[in-house]
């Protein structure tokens, strides 16, 4: 697990090179079966001073343009073909139809037996992500850079609640919503969970109602074509980017993912990603590519002022 912290007052030019902490906290590396899943998870965070005003239609066009020179690029007409059979480098986990069916089963299981369903990556990883994120947000709220030389010093419950209640939180691909329940227990109060599967949201809302978490808001929303009209100080992703990358059109969808996340992240906000398919360095490079692509777009001499308004994303910082 690792984090990146950038000073909000620094200019975009001064932050072309991401500064990484020296310490990484990691869990196991081996992925087992769906029933006994032991998942490696590198969680990391980036700070953003800006959101994005890019519209959905332009994001589709930009993503296709960015990948048009790739050797195995598909035509844009195939973009949303969830019915395509995944090849060797993709998986059923990348298709919405898979998740719709999975959450219908879990919702039926909850109604019959009261079971909460699967915790993606397992309880231990979720607990580690919660603890690390809580410490990071507390340090940021106190106005100093997290102590990357060791674990942050524990705060009292009263101090935690004072700091964490000010954070607005979005969990993208929330699934059964248990991550948000755990964040609520730690003192976060402004909590929103989204998922493109209606069954997942029905399950998450049912569990929250049963367990008394009336402060959590759940919405059906696709991160790639989000309709959310607000920004969040903390955006959580526990496996969603992994699933997006497993779609047959994963490369395009990953570009659209970064466009959407930059739109949802508030100035000075933090994105925390937990991944079992990519190392921290690979994800950081993907962020660098996103930043460089948008810098190049903004510097195109043929770009009109209106195009620049919708296509210019300030770098993640």
Do 149 and 22 contact (CB within 8 A), yes or no?
yes
pLDDT at position 304 is 55
The two tokens of residue 254 are 């990953």
Give mean pLDDT in consecutive 10-residue pieces for the chain, a chain of 317 residues: 38 34 31 34 46 47 48 37 46 91 94 90 93 93 58 54 90 97 96 97 97 97 96 96 93 94 93 92 92 84 53 56
Handedness of CA 279, 282, 286, 292 (dihedral sign): positive
Residues 162-186 pLDDT 10s: 789 999 999 999 999 999 999 999 9
Predicted local confidence at residue 60, as pLDDT: 53
Q: Whose CA is closest to 41, among 276, 284, 244, 281?
A: 276
The reported pLDDT for the residue numbered 303 is 56
1-6+120-139+159-299 classified as CATH 3.40.50.150: yes
Residues 94, 248: contact at Cβ < 8 Å? yes
Coil/strand/helix, residue 47: strand
Q: How far apart are CA 130 and CA 186, in angstroms?
A: 8
pLDDT in tens, 288-306: 999 898 888 878 776 555 4
Q: How far apart are CA 274 and CA 271, in angstroms?
A: 10
Q: What is the pLDDT of residue 246?
A: 93
Instruction: Tell me the domain boundaries of the chain.
Output: 1-6+120-139+159-299
pLDDT tens track for 219-239 = 999 999 999 999 999 999 999
Cα distance between residue 241 and residue 235, in whole Å: 13
């Amino acid at each position: 697990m690792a984090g990146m912290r950038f000073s909000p007052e620094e200019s975009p030019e001064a932050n072309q090179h991401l500064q990484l902490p020296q310490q990484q906290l990691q869990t196991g590396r081996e992925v087992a079966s769906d029933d006994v899943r032991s998942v490696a998870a590198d969680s990391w965070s980036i700070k953003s001073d800006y959101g994005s005003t890019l519209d959905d239609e332009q994001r589709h066009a930009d993503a296709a343009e960015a990948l048009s020179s790739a050797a195995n690029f598909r035509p844009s007409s195939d973009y949303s073909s969830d019915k395509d059979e995944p090849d060797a480098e993709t998986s059923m986990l990348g298709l919405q139809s898979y998740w719709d069916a999975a959450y219908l089963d879990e919702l039926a299981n909850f109604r019959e037996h009261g079971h909460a369903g699967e915790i993606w990556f397992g309880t231990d990883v979720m607990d580690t992500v919660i603890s690390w994120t809580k410490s990071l947000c507390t340090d940021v709220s106190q106005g100093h850079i997290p102590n990357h030389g060791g674990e942050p010093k524990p705060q009292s419950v009263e101090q935690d609640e004072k700091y964490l209640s000010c954070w607005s939180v979005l969990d993208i691909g929330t699934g059964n919503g248990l991550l948000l329940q755990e964040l609520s227990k730690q003192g976060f109060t402004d909590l929103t969970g989204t998922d493109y599967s209606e069954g997942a949201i029905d399950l998450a809302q049912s569990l929250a109602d049963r367990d008394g978490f009336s402060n959590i808001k759940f919405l059906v929303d696709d991160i790639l074509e989000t309709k959310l009209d607000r920004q969040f100080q903390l955006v959580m992703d526990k496996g969603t980017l992994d699933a997006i990358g497993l779609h047959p059109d994963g490369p395009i969808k990953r570009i659209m993912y970064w466009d959407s996340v930059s739109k949802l992240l508030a100035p000075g906000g933090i994105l925390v990603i937990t991944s079992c398919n990519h190392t921290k360095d690979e994800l950081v490079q993907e962020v660098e590519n996103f930043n460089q692509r948008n810098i190049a777009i903004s510097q195109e001499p043929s770009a009109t002022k209106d195009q620049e308004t919708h296509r210019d994303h300030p770098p993640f910082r």
